């Protein structure tokens, strides 16, 4: 009879020492109803009950007792509502051994499957919190992807949040005032993106080179010449040539550029990354018309005219100049919706 009475008192004590504080945010844990909070104001709490009101967290004031208990594998909070569904926060003080969590503190969130239809799936972002009183900061853990809840998988979380030895060492700040700790979770269902874009870079084209043969180079009188249009990587291009140079290379060097064809279509603010060779490696972003300089790229001083016209160097043979562009990588961006 004495053991039964002792066990009953022990169970009641644990129930009072485990509670979740209320939150003003719909996505946070809400443990107490308004009526309960109203009644609580007129109650004198037991001396052993720590009433700490912190948003989104629930407090355990006898965590070491849970660690030593052989009958308490996990603690499950009372249900809370978030994003139209009911949830519970699940804590494994000694780790969820079925999920490779032995020796660690494990935290999970479980959905009330009665709020799910048979084939429904709910994608959720979860962020768990562990309070550190020494640093006065929250240790936060969150995955980079959403969690998919359904009738076959109703609980998601982290099996290895913190090593138990690290957590229960009071010098680390997670257990404080003897035996207190605080956990929390933020449950949000991300809204669908109305607009998005996908950026990719293509390489290893089927025919990456274009060679332009210019005959009678010494007879060229105009300042600027353009090659025929050529297509590589789904875009149309030209080589732009200045036989006598331009900008700071005028009169001193051959100037040559790879440019996007004037009829190439751009979306507003779209840029195209290109890695190409004009006998040298270029690596540049191409802007659409009206969005800054960058519709072409090259060198005003591509080659000194003295070297170009020196027959011993072999660049001009029978007054024929051959230039080539080889594209190695071209980016593309898809927009949704189109």
For the residues 224-252, what does the mean pLDDT come to? 94
- Cα–Cα distance, 194 to 192 (Å, whole number): 6
235 and 271 in contact (C-beta within 8 Å)? no
**Using 50, 70 and 90 to split pLDDT, how confident is the model at 259?**
very high
Q: Which two tokens stand for residue 317?
A: 């043979």
Q: Which two tokens stand for residue 282?
A: 């270029």
In angstroms, the Cα distances linking 204 to 174, 207, 232 are: 54, 8, 10
Phi, psi of 66 (to 5 degrees): -65, -40
Higher pLDDT, 19 or 190: 190
Picking from 238, 293, 240, the residue whose alpha carbon sits closest to that of residue 263 is: 238
Higher pLDDT, 95 or 33: 95
Q: What is the DSSP letter of 232?
A: E
Q: State what percent of residues in the chain have pLDDT above 90.
A: 31
Give the torsion sign (CA, 144, 166, 63, 52).
negative
Phi, psi of 87 (to 5 degrees): -135, 165
**Using 50, 70 and 90 to split pLDDT, how confident is the model at 9?**
very low
Record the pTM.
0.47
Structural domains in the chain, CATH included, are 56-188 (2.60.210.10), 197-337 (2.60.210.10)
Those residues whose C-beta lies under 8 Å from the C-beta of residue 336, and which sit 6 or more positions away, are 193, 195, 196, 197, 198
Region of 25 on the Ramachandran plot (φ > 0 left; ψ -120 to 50 alpha; else beta) = beta
Residue-wise pLDDT tens digits, 281-298: 667 788 877 766 666 778
Residue-wise pLDDT tens digits, 133-164: 898 888 888 887 778 898 888 899 999 999 98
- Cα–Cα distance, 325 to 202 (Å, whole number): 17
**Using 50, 70 and 90 to split pLDDT, how confident is the model at 338?**
low
Q: Which two tokens stand for residue 100?
A: 């490779």
Higher pLDDT, 291 or 244: 244
Adjacent-strand bridge partners of 60: 18, 181
Encode burial over 168-192: b for 16+ CB neighbours within 10 A, e otherwise.
Answer: beeebbbbeeebbbbbbbbbbeeee
Residue-wise pLDDT tens digits, 67-93: 666 666 888 888 888 878 888 889 998
For the residues 224-233, what does the mean pLDDT come to? 95
């Amino acid at each position: 009879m004495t053991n039964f009475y002792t066990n009953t008192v022990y169970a009641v004590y644990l129930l009072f020492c485990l509670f979740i504080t209320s939150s003003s945010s719909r996505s946070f844990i809400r443990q107490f109803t308004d009526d309960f909070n109203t009644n609580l104001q007129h109650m004198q709490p037991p001396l052993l009950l720590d009433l700490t009101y912190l948003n989104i967290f629930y407090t355990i004031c006898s965590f070491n007792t849970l660690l030593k208990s052989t009958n308490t594998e996990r603690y499950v909070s009372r249900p809370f509502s978030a994003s139209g569904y009911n949830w519970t926060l699940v804590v494994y003080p000694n780790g969820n051994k079925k999920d490779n969590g032995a020796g660690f503190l494990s935290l999970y969130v479980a959905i009330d499957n009665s709020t799910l239809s048979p084939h429904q799936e709910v994608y959720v972002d979860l962020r768990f919190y562990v309070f550190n009183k020494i640093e006065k900061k929250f240790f936060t853990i969150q995955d980079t992807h959403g969690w998919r809840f359904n009738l076959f998988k109703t609980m998601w979380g982290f099996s290895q949040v913190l090593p138990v030895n690290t957590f229960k060492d009071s010098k680390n700040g997670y257990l404080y005032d003897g035996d207190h700790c605080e956990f929390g979770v933020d449950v949000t269902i991300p809204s669908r993106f109305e607009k998005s874009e996908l950026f990719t870079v293509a390489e290893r084209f089927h025919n990456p080179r274009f060679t332009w043969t210019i005959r009678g180079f010494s007879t060229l009188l105009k300042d600027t010449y353009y090659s025929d249009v050529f297509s590589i990587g789904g875009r149309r291009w030209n080589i732009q040539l200045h036989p006598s140079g331009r900008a700071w290379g005028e009169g001193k060097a051959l100037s040559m550029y790879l440019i996007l064809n004037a009829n190439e279509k751009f979306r507003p603010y779209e840029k195209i990354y290109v890695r190409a060779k004009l006998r040298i490696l270029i690596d540049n972003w191409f802007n659409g018309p009206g969005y800054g300089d960058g519709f072409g790229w090259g060198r005003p001083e591509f080659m000194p005219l003295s070297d170009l016209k020196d027959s011993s160097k072999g660049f001009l043979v029978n007054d024929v100049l051959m230039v080539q562009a080889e594209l190695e990588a071209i980016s593309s961006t898809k927009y949704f919706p189109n």
